[in-house]
Amino acid sequence: MSTTVTRPATSGRAPAAPRRRPRTFGRRAGRATTYLALVLASLVTLVPLVVIAMASLKTGAEFRAEGPFDPPRTWLNPDNFVRAFTDGKMLRAFGNTAIILVVSVAGTVLIGSMVAYAIDRFRFRMRGAVLGAFLLAALVPGVTTQVATFQVVERLGVFNSMAAPILLFTGTDIVSIYIFLQFMRSIPHDLDEAATLEGANRFTIYWRIILPLLKPAIATVVIVKGVAIYNEFYIPFLYMSSRELGVISTSLFRFQGPFSAEWEVISAGVVIVILPTLVVFLLLQRWFYNGMTAGAVK
């Protein structure tokens, strides 16, 4: 099946609202069941996160004396956050994550759009084979090939450097290529041809015309890829073992040892990691839904 990336509509609901029917007892019971199910599902989703947030605000003594549902004595207790942030080396982790994220996302956008441009706007021998090679790669589960990717990374001499995850994130992303391909098909050829008549070469066309027109697709890829990189655990864990190169996931993972007896500090670390995701999600909700639908249906 195919999906297209479009600018999110302002009304997110397609089906027309059914006309009101007379309210019978059965219909009311049905509606009540619906809301009950929705509220229950929301509780199951939110409770594990809310109790962690509460734990992060308790002092050590409070935490040990109380149950998980007892509210913290004060809702303004920064101590655990300060400790998690400083002892957990989270500032450096955010810095490392930011560098890797920005470079990888930029690389992904360039690579993906170049492939889509070459495949959609040119007719050349082996074109089908090239497209097939990219699409087939989408079926290979990333985590399995790590046993052998490790050799490649070592041979390249980038083991234990930021270059390793950057190369892997940039070089193994088929989803974004697919998103760009889908979107590229909807850009009319007249513009390319007009520019060609003006004397622009293919590189100018790609850089000056195609890339700017791909903006909605680029936004989608940036979001999907950005979240994926921010959350990636195993690649940095495997290829950047030195502590100075800790990213968000690996730094949080290392809380297990030193803070194992201090759940209130671990909880604060968890909250620090989740908050940026929550803020970005609230700001860009519609783009997320679009992106996930476009990205998952490879």
Q: Binding of other proteins at residue 75 (CB under 8 A)?
A: no
Any idea what DSSP says for residue 20? P
Smallest distance, other proteins to C-beta of residue 196, A: 4
User: Residue 236 gets which letter from DSSP?
Assistant: H
- CB count within 10 Å of CB 171 equals 12
Residue 61 interacts with other proteins (CB under 8 A)? Answer: no
**217 burial via Cβ count (<10 Å: 0-12, 13-18, 19+):** buried
Contacting other proteins (CB under 8 A), which of 36, 37, 82, 191?
Answer: 37
Determine if 42 is a binding residue for other proteins (CB under 8 A): yes
Cα separation, 65 vs 250, in Å, equals 30
Place of tokens 């049905």: 30
Say whether residue 106 binds other proteins (CB under 8 A).
Answer: no
Does residue number 207 form part of the binding site for other proteins (CB under 8 A)?
no
Query: Of 52 and 79, which has the nearer Cβ to other proteins?
Result: 52
Pick from 55, 101, 103, 217 the residue near other proteins by CB under 8 A.
55
Q: How far is the CB of 244 from other proteins (least distance, A)?
A: 19
> Contact between 261 and other proteins (CB under 8 A)?
no
Q: What is the number of residues in the chain?
A: 298
What residues numbered 144-173 form the site for other proteins, per CB under 8 A? 144-152, 156, 167-168, 170-172
Q: From CA 207, how far away is CA 204, in angstroms rounded? A: 5
Q: Please name which of 178, 148, 173 lies closest in space to residue 229, comparing C-alpha atoms.
A: 173
Closest contact distance (angstroms) between CB of 34 and other proteins is: 5
Shortest distance, CB of residue 83 to other proteins, whole angstroms?
15
Tokens of 123: 């007719």
Please calculate the CA angle 7-8-11 and round it to the nearest 5 degrees.
140
* Ramachandran assignment for 201, one of left (phi > 0), alpha (psi -120 to 50 degrees), beta (any other): beta
Q: Which is nearer to other proteins, 79 or 130 (CB)?
A: 130
Contact with other proteins (CB under 8 A) among 180, 183, 206, 287: 206
- Using rule CB under 8 A, residue 292 touches other proteins: yes
Vertex 52: Cα angle to 46 and 55 (nearest 5): 140
Residue 12 or 258 with smaller CB distance to other proteins: 12
233 binding other proteins? (CB under 8 A)? yes
284 counts as binding other proteins under rule CB under 8 A: no
